[in-house]
Amino acid sequence: MRQVTLLGATGSIGLNTLDVLARHPDRFAVHALTANRQVDPMIRLCFEHKPRYAVMADPDAARELAERLPAGLGVTVLSGCEGLEQVASAETVDVVMAAIVGGAGLRPTLAAARAGKRVLLANKEALVMSGALFMDAVAESGAELLPIDSEHNAIFQCLPPDHIRDPDGAGVRRILLTASGGPFRETPVASLASVTPEQACAHPNWSMGQKISVDSATLMNKGLELIEACWLFNTGPGRIDVHVHPESIIHSMVEYLDGSILAQLGSPDMRTPIANGLAWPERIDAGVGSLDLFELGRFRFERPDEDRFPCLTLAADAFRLGGTAPVVLNAANEVAVRAFLNGHLKFTDIPVIIEKALERQAPVAAESFEVIFEQDAQARQLAWSIVEAQA
């Protein structure tokens, strides 16, 4: 029986993970569920899944949860980042699903990595921010880092298991990272300035949290994924080609030196990569039905339109610049997306804020996690001031 801690239980990945876990009560037990502020859904999840711990990052929400959960349920409530780190690194825990959204996930995900857990990484921002330092922490503790992002999980499945971080040894020529193109792939450029948060969050193929939905609409999600892929698979952006594939059925591909291209296909349903990470190297039922390829008929591929979606280029440039540039990129993006969702910023201003933040906060060497956290806080402050000036 494997004990699972689920960071970000109330979110889209969290709920999909609980769906898969509930199909296999003989294999997995829930050690801890965590959220930020949403008490009502957390109460419901505690009744359904009976974790030993429930953690609310927000102390007021933790107090409310502790008051409202009946003592007889046997759930201990913890709070704050310390609570998150405690349940991510507890000795009895085998698997940690890292599904907090944004930079807030870095500390608990790192705690899981340092404690040598099987870390199922959905929280791409954590790796974008801390890249080499995070991978070093994984190597030092012997943690297993398995990608949950559907694209990275697909690449992982297409690589030989003993050469995941050795593209040369595996004979890899390039990685073909697929992208849906988001809801605005064909929207006239002149209309993009007036798109609403509702339109941006209405992804054509995937049902996801708000932040990643907006990232998919700007293509920043693909930019963050490009950086994530570089760290996970020990390569550079020059060996990764983004292919827009509007059907979202091929989740990514690996091309080898002999001309072979291996692809992983599946319905756009996150339960597939989640089940893959939970059970790897075994396969378990994820509740996902068979794909009807006759019904689909054909697959399309297009080059990404980097003039329309400058975020992809901004991300690749930040990775190439190195040091803390990806920290600034990620922080400014989180701030700009929040401002857009709150109605304080136009959709087309998101890349403008990020570019200005990158210009004004020069990267420094990412030599420690303290530097990462400092630069992150500074970039968020800077980005908010740029948003205020822009609004």
Annotated binding site for Mn(2+): 149, 151, 225
User: 255 vs 319, which CB is nearer to ligand NDP?
Assistant: 319
Closest CA to 240 of 181, 178, 321, 180: 178
Least separation in angstroms between CB 147 and ligand NDP = 9
Q: How far is the CB of 37 from ligand NDP (least distance, A)?
A: 4
Task: Look at the alpha carbons of 134, 57, 225, 151 in this order and tell me if their dihedral is positive or negative.
Answer: positive
**For residues 213 and 255, which CB has a smaller minimum distance to ligand NDP in the complex?**
213
- Min dist. Cβ of residue 366 to ligand NDP (A): 20
CA-based max dimension of the chain: 62
Is the CB of 245 or the CB of 356 nearer to ligand NDP? 245
- Pair 254, 176: CB distance under 8 Å: yes
Residues that bind ligand NDP (CB under 6 A): 8-14, 35-38, 57, 99-101, 104, 122-125, 149, 206, 208-212, 270
Annotated binding site for 1-deoxy-D-xylulose 5-phosphate: 124, 150-151, 180, 203, 216, 221-222, 225
Residues annotated within the binding site are 10-13, 37, 123-125, 149-151, 180, 203, 209, 216, 221-222, 225
Whole-number minimum distance, CB 63 to ligand NDP, in Å?
A: 14
Give alpha helix (H) positions in the chain: 12-22, 39-49, 59-68, 80-89, 106-114, 124-141, 150-158, 167-170, 197-201, 210-218, 220-232, 271-279, 293-296, 311-321, 325-341, 350-360, 369-390
Torsion of CA 243, 248, 249, 251, to 10 degrees: 60
Distance in angstroms (rounded) separating the CA atoms of residues 153 and 87:
25
In the complex, the smallest distance separating the C-beta of residue 42 from ligand NDP, rounded to whole angstroms, is 7
* Smaller CB separation from ligand NDP, 206 or 369: 206
Closer Cβ to ligand NDP, 255 or 273, answer by number = 273
Residue list for the binding site for NADPH:
10-13, 37, 123, 125, 209
The secondary structure of residue 79, as a DSSP letter, is: E
Question: Quick check: helix, strand or coil at residue 28?
Answer: strand
| Minimum gap (Å) between residue 294 Cβ and ligand NDP | 27
Return the residue nearest ligand NDP (CB atom). 11
Which residue, 37 or 320, is less far from ligand NDP as judged by CB? 37
At 115, phi and psi to the nearest 5? -85, 5
Q: At what angle do helices 210-218 and 350-360 cross, to 10 degrees?
A: 90
Residue labelled with tokens 């059925």: 249
